Amino acid sequence: MQGRFNDVRGGYLAGAVTLAMFLSVFPLLLVAVSVLGFFSSGHPDLTSRLLSNLGIPPASDAADLVRHAVATAEQSRRTASIVGVLGLLWSGLGLVAALQYAYDAAWQVTGRGIRDKGWGMLWLVGTAVLFLTSFALTAATQFLPAFLWPVEIVVALALGLGMFLWAEKLLPNRDIGWRPLLPGAIAGALGFEVLKVVGSLYVPRAVASSSALYGSIGVVFAILAWLYFFGRLIVYSTVLNVVLWERDHGTVTIGLRVPSLPGRENGVANRRGEAIRT
């Protein structure tokens, strides 16, 4: 699997996915700000409840910063919502394109052209539904008794499995059914839970240490590092499915047109696109 990951240049694919995910963070923050503004306009006690839940003393500088942020969000909620939604749609389509390219490269297939946009929109809608479902179920599990904590883990794994399956099924330009996609989806869901646990420990420390060195830009470094590992997890999960599929169904040799260069006469390309003589 590692050999195949290197053959398809998985590190570069993961980097492209990471950049697309990172760019999606900014319009998502705008949407979050607009939602916060709409809530604060109808709930005057929202700021005090936020300070209480965050454990921030009301008379501190941090409390003043939170009050200012909430007041700004309330004033710009309409503009932020419009710009945020449009930006989220644009960056979401960019993320879809990066994911489709990564999946297609792993399976060594070409894209579907303009139809990829339609499949991408369908994937975005389904992913949004899965995210909303995950938020609702996560909130519901908080009311369970302490001895039922394994239920929360099962719910999280099931949602992660659904998200990886949904992406693996819709985004690449190939149709092999659902069952062959299960190994990669299971590995992806398990890896995602590990990343969430590691991220909850690593990201706050990385933010603190990076901020001390680089200021506010340190937060960017910490988020990018976590997203890069997540991007590699996505590529590894689909590469696992590719390797298992080839083990069970074999491979075929196809012709490939490449530029005629010195030393490339009468050759075929290997997995890396390098010509080998026949």
Residues of the domain holding 218: 2-277
* Bridge partners, residue 275, by sequence: 269
How many independent structural domains does the chain possess?
1
Report the amino acid identity of residue 56: I
The H or E element spanning position 169 is: helix 149-170
pLDDT at 275: 47
Report pLDDT digits (tens) over 40-75.
Answer: 666 666 667 666 655 556 666 656 666 666 666 666
Distance (Å, whole) CA 193 – CA 160: 8
| Low-confidence residues of the chain: pLDDT under 70 | 26-47, 49-91, 135, 138-139, 141-144, 146-149, 202-219, 263-278
Distance (Å, whole) CA 185 – CA 172: 14
Distance (Å, whole) CA 40 – CA 16: 37
Number of H helices, E strands in the chain: 9, 2
pLDDT at 123: 86
Distance (Å, whole) CA 114 – CA 154: 38
Distance (Å, whole) CA 15 – CA 31: 25
Only one residue has tokens 């470094």, namely 221
pLDDT at 278: 45
Report pLDDT digits (tens) over 156-175.
Answer: 888 889 999 999 999 998 88
Only one residue has tokens 């996915």, namely 17
Tokens of 113: 């052209």
